[in-house]
Amino acid sequence: MPNKRLILLGLNALARAHELDYFVDGHRGAGMVAAYLLCENNRLDDRACERIEEITDINWISTPLCAPFPDTPAQPDRIGEIGEALAEGGEILRQVGHNAIFAMIAIKAFRMMPEAATPERIEGVCSMIRSFTPWRDIEPAQDVDPPPFKDTAAAAEFVLREASDAVDRFIGFGQGFAGHMLTFGQALVELAAMGDVDWAESCRCAFRKYVTLTRIGPEADGKRFQDHAVSDLRPNTAAYWKARGDTAVGIGHAFKYPYSYYELLRLADNAALAEAWDRKAYHVF
């Protein structure tokens, strides 16, 4: 079983990120929470959980980012302020949708650990969410029309299909667009599934903009990246994590991409789509 301290340490990082580097350190905080959820929700075996915890220990947990917050009384009734901060700017596409990605992760984590919902942490997360700036905020294409996010299976399938198409479209150009299709889309589907439909739908326009950009594809003279080698290893196994180097976590995508991927597969519940995705998943992981 994963250690719930990853949730608390991730919340500490999310709440402190605005004081350091809201973008990079927000990734790290979200990555720790996603690491816990990846282990817990997919029932990863002890070897996988221990290796994931070891990697987070090596890279983040001993840093000032994860330092404790004051032991003040929790106010879990204020968790909704995070959703309100998200909705303030939800229609604008802000830095690849990370305002929505991190807001969902924080809301979910606080609800799992309400005793951590202290004013300092809540206010810190809200400050981080408000820090994200507009990014390639184009008009969305009219034919980009995701299902209502509360229609869980259909919305999850939409995200998975868009991400799958993005994998093919961006071969040779890196898989950041596909990976963030998974994380941005899953954040909105998950918010709606948690009952926060209005907050999810407040980001519909921004998500449509991201889908529009992703469908356009890479520029012909865009920066090239070496594709991942073909591999049968997947991040729901201990062997995958053993094969990763101790510091090969980047800023957190190593945990966030697979967490979102497996959640979407579970929600879509489409065996054929899952099989098709598995054949190309090595590109993202």
Walk along the chain (285 residues) and give the pLDDT tens digit of each residue.
788 999 999 999 999 999 999 999 999 999 999 999 999 999 999 999 999 999 999 999 999 999 999 999 999 999 999 999 999 987 999 999 999 999 999 999 999 999 999 999 999 999 999 999 999 999 999 999 999 999 999 999 999 999 999 999 999 999 999 999 999 999 999 999 999 999 999 999 999 999 999 999 998 888 999 999 999 999 999 999 999 989 989 999 999 999 999 999 999 999 999 999 999 999 999
Instruction: Look up tokens 């510091």; give the residue.
Output: 247
Between CA 189 and CA 32 the distance in angstroms is 20
Q: DSSP letter at 149? A: T
Between CA 22 and CA 13 the distance in angstroms is 10
pLDDT at 66: 97
pLDDT at 1: 73
Q: Give me 202's structure tokens.
A: 């407040």
Taking every pair of Cα atoms in the chain, the longest distance, rounded to a whole number of angstroms, is 54
pLDDT at 138: 96
In contact, 139 and 206? CB cutoff 8 Å: no
Backbone angles phi, psi at 41, to 5 degrees: -75, -25
Between CA 254 and CA 179 the distance in angstroms is 10
pTM of the model: 0.97
Between CA 95 and CA 111 the distance in angstroms is 26
In contact, 203 and 100? CB cutoff 8 Å: yes
pLDDT at 74: 98
